[in-house]
């Protein structure tokens, strides 16, 4: 997962 910080945060929020 080498995406932008914003994308990673969105994914993290989606997982949580």
pLDDT of residue 13: 92
pLDDT of residue 16: 77
pLDDT of residue 2: 60
pTM of the full structure: 0.14
Cα 10 from Cα 1, distance rounded (Å): 12
1-16 pLDDT, tens digit each:
566 889 889 989 988 7
CA distances for 1 relative to 7, 9, 10, 12, angstroms: 10, 11, 12, 11
């Amino acid at each position: 997962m080498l995406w932008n910080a914003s994308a990673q945060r969105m994914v993290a929020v989606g997982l949580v």
